Amino acid sequence: MNRIITLLIAMAAVLMLSACDPNDLSQPVTYLEVNAHNISGTWELAEWNGTALAEGTYVYLDIVRNDRTYTMYQNLDTFKDVPHILTGSYFIETDPEYGAVIRGNYDHDSGDWAHRYIVRNLTENEMTWIAKDDETFVQKFVRVDSIPL
């Protein structure tokens, strides 16, 4: 009887070990606190509402930590080879219900951003912004080394 139990335990151990992929060395995702330090840097809009941007279009954000300013380079509303450059300030607030919310304004009397965004899933290389007033308005950014303009 002991041999049968030992054999069953050994078979179960072999089955559990064979279910593990030794090539899967993926690390667990580490989410960062949303603050000016962690979001500073250069970002590219990779997806808008779950869809990649059309070929030839771009949005880049250069976010500066020290003075909480940004520069946006985009060609969504211009000729494809002429960037529209916007500058302004941003502010990060903590909402008890939503968590970190980023809002901003544009320089040159252009006013506030159209939305306040809930910042989710901030990692070293990605972040997602969800419009606080329209949860279907989702932007996914990826960190880039530079703006290729």
In the prediction, which pLDDT does 23 show?
A: 57
DSSP letter string over 39-81?
H-EEEEEEEETTEEPPTT--EEEEEETTTTEEEEEE-TTS-TT
Q: Taking the CA of residue 19 as centre, how many other CA atoms within 13 Å lie in the half-sphere pointing to its CB?
A: 6
pLDDT recorded at residue 4 = 52
Backbone phi, psi, residue 107, to 5°:
-70, 175
Question: Residue 131: beta bridge partners?
Answer: 117, 134
CA distance 37 to 30: 16
Low-confidence spans in the chain with pLDDT less than 70: 1-25, 80, 109
Look at the chain and count its residues. Answer: 149
CA 136 to chain centre: 16
Q: Which tokens is 146 given? A: 């530079």
pLDDT of 63: 97
> Any idea of the CA torsion for 118, 63, 141, 125, to the nearest 10 degrees?
-110
Domains of the chain: 36-143 (2.40.128.280)
Indicate the SS3 state at residue 128.
strand
Please give the single-letter amino acid code of residue 21: D
